[in-house]
Structure 1
Amino acid sequence: MKRNLLLLLMVSIGSISYGQSWDPDITEGQKSLSLQLGTQGIGLQFKYQLINNLSARAGFSILPVETDKVVQSFSNDTDDRLKASFTNAHLLLDYPIIGKSVRLVLGGAYFFKAEGTIESKAVEGFKLGDRQFTAEEIGMLVIRSDWKGLRPYGGLAFFRDFPKNKINVSLDLGLYNLGAPEVSTSSTGMLYLDETNRQRLEDNLKDYKWLPIIQLGINYKF
């Protein structure tokens, strides 16, 4: 009797575990194509079901951003233009951890382009002693930060792995570890960063090594 109860308990636990980790609507070889929109820009992604519990996806995304803003700097107005450009190709693996709707996502991406640029130029000239300097003589300072390279990713994906019919939506929340950027500067006039300030800038940018990802996917199963 005890053996029968123990066997029944083991079969029940196994059935529960099996039921939680396997979705009968998802079979090996399923494929989908996804339009991606979010903090890493716009992109396309192909997804393939490897086995019942594991799917792989490969894709790319592009993020071009540019803004202009006049800011107060060292008691003089400067016109600052901020640019950010990110282009990557990624490969990720999905594994379900809570039912059908929450998955652990691990992988990485190669960032062909991952840079931020600040172009700062004087709005007007200023007088120093007896000499008047024009905005053109003051010139423009350009600061570039580059995170290009292979970067790891970790995060969670929500909603169904594949559409039950033809179309569904999914949500990704995660982080890329970009590491510390390479910093370079150039100038066309009097504006410049000396070695001490350039090193200080590099030290400050070391904290900006995480790229948060909030990405919405519109998926089509074929």
Structure 2
Amino acid sequence: MKTNQRRFFKPIHSVCLAIICVSGVTSLEASQFRCEATPEILISAPDESMVVYVCDAAARAVAFLDQYGLQPQRTIGIDIIEESINRDGYMAYGSYDRQNDHILMMSLPAILKSSQAPEMYNMPFDEEHYVGAFAHEITHAIFQHNADSTEDLWTNAAQEYLAHATQLGVLSAPRRAAIMDAAATGPWETGDEISVTYMGFNPTGFAVKSYLHLNGLSDPKGFIKILLNHKWLYVSVP
């Protein structure tokens, strides 16, 4: 997708929802939208009703990651769809394809209809968690943009650490505190192994441990540099 389509932009008035009010959305041709604050985000959607969530999530994720020296380096395409996403044999709300630098995300109504009581971090899924889910997938893309190697690395645990830390980091302080209190766990400690196996058994605990660990580091940029150059299925905490 070309990124030099600014001459086709036409402004959209600000859109306000329950928890967010974003004016920085521009419309392109053929149901495409771009976030003015984060122009690297290019969204395909039937209308702007879900786009406001994407732009809010992108702004929060980019601000969170910028403090660690990470920025998007190229366009990130996002498609908002109505059907469930089959991700390696299980159904997911969202997915990032690093080969195409592309994110698929179900619309919020589609997620809410996907089960009787959809949850995120053991809490009812809502608009705020929808923003967090977008921030998670956008972090995967930014991680890939800043990885030290273009080789096919085993970086699942490293990426999920940062994606979950960012997802918690963009939530409101009361929501984040409620999740951490319910999880009742501490940060990753020296000698621990950060793994997708642990994440599979306890995704909420994985997220809380990662957020607390990252925010407790005296040199977080140094640890993120380790993550960006990681080649294995798990990360040993130094």
TM-score (ref. length: structure 2): 0.23
When Rg is computed on C-alpha atoms for both structures, the one with the higher figure is 1
Higher helix share: 2
Using CA pairs under 8 Å that are at least 6 residues apart, name the structure with larger relative contact order, 1 or 2.
Answer: 1
Higher strand share: 1
TM-score (ref. length: structure 1): 0.24
